Amino acid sequence: MKRHRSKGCCLFAVIALAALATPAAAQDRRGFVWDNRPSIVFGEDINIDLKGRVQMDGRRFDPRIDEDAFDIRTLRIGLKGDLTKHFDWEIEREIDEVVIVTEENQNLVDIGAVEPVWRFGDWKDVFINWSTFDVLRIKAGRFKMPFGLEQNTSVSDLDFAYRTLGSTKIAPGRDRGVMAYGELFGGSLAYEAGVFDDDGDNGELEEPRFVQEGEDLENIGPSFAARVVGELFRRLPVHDRLKGAEIGVAFTRSYVPEGLNSLRGEDLWGFDFFEPVYVKGHRQRIGLQWDWSPGPTGFRAEWMQSREQRLGQSNRNADLSDFIGTAWYTSATWIVTGEDKDSDVTPNHPLFQGGFGLVEIGARFDRLTFKSATTTGTAFRNPRSDFLLPNSVSTFTAGANWLVNRWVKVVADAFRQSYEDVERAPRVLGSETFGPTVFWSGLVRLQIAF
Amino acid sequence: MRFNQVLLLSLALGYASPAFAQTQDDFFNPEVLQRIELWLNESDWAKLKTNFQENTYYNADMIWNGITVRNLGIRSRGLGSRRSQKPGLRVDFDHYAGGQQFLGLKSYVLDNLSQDFSGIKESVAMKFFTRLGIPAPRETHARLYVNGRYAGLYAVVESVDKTMMGRVFGSINGNVQNDGYLFEYNYVLGSPWRFAYEGAALTPYKLRFDIKTNESHAESRIWGPIEELVRLVNDTPADRFEQTINPRLDLAAFVRYIAAQNFTAQDDGFNGYDGMNNFYFYRLEDSTSHVFIAWDEDVGFLAPDFGITTRLTDNVLTRKTLELPGYQSQYFSVLGEAATAAADWMRQEMQRQLDLINQAMLEDPQKPYTNDEYTAERARVLAFPEARITYVRCEVSKQTGSARPAGCQ
Strand, helix or coil at B142? strand
Q: For every one of its 450 residues, what pLDDT tens digit does chain A have, with 9 covering 90 and above?
A: 333 334 444 444 544 444 444 444 445 678 899 888 899 999 889 999 999 999 999 999 998 888 889 999 999 999 999 999 999 999 999 999 898 888 788 888 887 888 899 999 999 999 999 999 999 999 999 999 999 999 999 998 999 999 999 999 999 999 999 999 999 998 899 999 999 999 999 998 877 778 777 777 788 989 999 999 999 898 888 888 898 899 999 999 999 999 999 999 999 999 999 999 999 999 999 999 999 999 999 999 999 999 999 999 999 999 999 999 999 999 999 999 999 997 678 999 999 888 999 999 999 999 999 999 999 999 999 999 999 999 999 999 999 999 999 999 999 999 999 999 999 999 888 787 888 999 999 999 999 999
Strand, helix or coil at A132? coil
Between residues B14 and B70, the one the model is more confident about: B70
Where are the domains positioned within chain A? 77-207+218-386
Establish if B2 touches chain A: CB-CB under 8 angstroms. Answer: no
pLDDT score of A331: 98
**B339-343, Cβ contacts within 8 angstroms, sequence gap of 24 or more:** B339/B263, B339/B388, B339/B389, B339/B392, B339/B393, B339/B396, B341/B128, B341/B131, B341/B132, B342/B128, B342/B263, B342/B385, B342/B388, B342/B389, B343/B385, B343/B389
Least Cα distance to B59 among B30, B93, B36 occurs for: B93
Cβ-defined contact of B71 to A381 (cutoff 8 Å): yes
* Beta strands A117-130 and A87-98, pairing class: antiparallel
What phi-psi label fits residue A259: left (phi over 0), alpha (psi between -120 and 50 degrees) or beta?
left
Cβ-defined contact of B46 to A212 (cutoff 8 Å): yes
User: Nearest C-alpha of chain B: how many angstroms from A212?
Assistant: 7
Establish if B188 touches chain A: CB-CB under 8 angstroms. Answer: yes
Cβ-defined contact of B98 to A384 (cutoff 8 Å): no
User: Nearest C-alpha of chain B: how many angstroms from A312?
Assistant: 8
Strand, helix or coil at A232? coil
Q: Which residue of B has its CA nearest to A65?
A: B216
User: Nearest C-alpha of chain A: how many angstroms from B59?
Assistant: 6
Give chain A's length. 450
pTM for the full model? Answer: 0.85
Q: Work out whether the CA dihedral B165, B166, B170, B171 comes out positive or negative.
A: positive
Segments of B45-174 assigned E as strands: 58-64, 67-76, 89-92, 107-111, 139-146, 149-158, 171-172
Cβ-defined contact of A380 to B188 (cutoff 8 Å): no
What is d(CA A425, CA A422) in angstroms, rounded to the nearest whole number? 5
Cβ-defined contact of B188 to A107 (cutoff 8 Å): yes
- List the single residue in B43, B50, B207 with the smallest CB-CB distance to A258: B43
- List the single residue in A108, A258, A382 with the smallest CB-CB distance to B59: A382
Residues 30-69 of B with CB under 8 A from A: 39-44, 46-47, 50-51, 59-61
Confidence of residue B19 (pLDDT cuts 50, 70, 90): very low
Cβ-defined contact of B39 to A432 (cutoff 8 Å): no
What is d(CA B279, CA B258) in angstroms, rounded to the nearest whole number? 11
Q: Best of A313, A316, A382 to disrupt the B interface by mutation (most B CBs within 10 Å)?
A: A382
Cβ-defined contact of B203 to A113 (cutoff 8 Å): yes
Establish if B71 touches chain A: CB-CB under 8 angstroms. Answer: yes
Q: Which residue of B has its CA nearest to A384?
A: B59
- Chain A hits for B214, CB-CB cut-off 8 Å, are 432
Question: Could you report the predicted ipTM of this complex, rounded to two decimals?
Answer: 0.81
Q: Best of A104, A105, A107 to disrupt the B interface by mutation (most B CBs within 10 Å)?
A: A107
Strand, helix or coil at B384? helix
Q: Which residues pair with B275 in a beta bridge?
A: B272, B273
Q: Which residue of A has its CA nearest to B203?
A: A113
Cβ pairs bridging A and B (under 8 Å): 68
User: Nearest C-alpha of chain B: how many angstroms from A317?
Assistant: 5
Q: Which residue of A has its CA nearest to B38?
A: A315
Q: What is the pLDDT of residues B290-318, one digit of tens each?
A: 999 999 998 999 999 999 999 999 999 99
Residue B164 has pLDDT above 70, yes or no: yes
pLDDT score of A253: 98
- List the single residue in A111, A315, A427 with the smallest CB-CB distance to B60: A315
Cβ-defined contact of A210 to B73 (cutoff 8 Å): no
- Chain B hits for A107, CB-CB cut-off 8 Å, are 188, 207
- List the single residue in A312, A378, A380 with the smallest CB-CB distance to B96: A380
Cβ-defined contact of A429 to B216 (cutoff 8 Å): yes
Establish if B91 touches chain A: CB-CB under 8 angstroms. Answer: no
Residues 6 or more apart in contact with residue B44 via CB below 8 angstroms: A384, B58, B59, B60
Strand, helix or coil at B372? helix
Mean pLDDT of B66-86: 93
Where are the domains positioned within chain B? 2-162, 170-409
Cβ-defined contact of B70 to A317 (cutoff 8 Å): no
- Chain B hits for A382, CB-CB cut-off 8 Å, are 59, 71, 73, 95-96
Q: Which residue of A has its CA nearest to B14?
A: A378
Residue B18 has pLDDT above 80, yes or no: no
What is d(CA B141, CA B111) in angstroms, rounded to the nearest whole number? 9
Cβ-defined contact of A111 to B206 (cutoff 8 Å): yes
Establish if B217 touches chain A: CB-CB under 8 angstroms. Answer: yes
The one-letter amino acid code at A288 reads L
Least Cα distance to A170 among A299, A273, A287, A290 occurs for: A287
Q: How many CB atoms lie within 10 A of CB B102?
A: 24
Longest dimension (CA), chain A: 72
Residue B359 has pLDDT above 70, yes or no: yes
Cβ-defined contact of A315 to B59 (cutoff 8 Å): yes
Q: Best of B4, B5, B8, B43 to disrupt the A interface by mutation (most A CBs within 10 Å)?
A: B43
Pick the CATH number of A77-207+218-386 from 3.40.50.1370, 2.40.160.10, 3.40.50.2000, 3.40.640.10: 2.40.160.10
A108: enclosing H helix or E strand? helix A106-110
Q: Which residue of B has its CA nearest to A313?
A: B41
Q: What is the pLDDT of residues B199-218, one digit of tens each?
A: 999 999 999 999 999 988 89
- Chain B hits for A316, CB-CB cut-off 8 Å, are 39, 41, 147
Give chain B's length. 409
**CA of A52: how far to CAs of A34, A36, A55, A124, B110, in Å?**
13, 12, 10, 12, 55
Q: Best of B2, B5, B38, B44 to disrupt the A interface by mutation (most A CBs within 10 Å)?
A: B44
The H-assigned helical ranges of B210-366 are 219-235, 238-245, 251-263, 316-322, 325-343, 346-363
Residues 6 or more apart in contact with residue A350 via CB below 8 angstroms: A357, A404, A405, A406
Q: Best of B41, B205, B208 to disrupt the A interface by mutation (most A CBs within 10 Å)?
A: B41
Render B18-54 in DSSP notation, one character per residue. Answer: GGGG--HHHHT-TTSEEEEEEE--HHHHHHHHHTTTS
User: Nearest C-alpha of chain A: how many angstroms from B246?
Assistant: 29
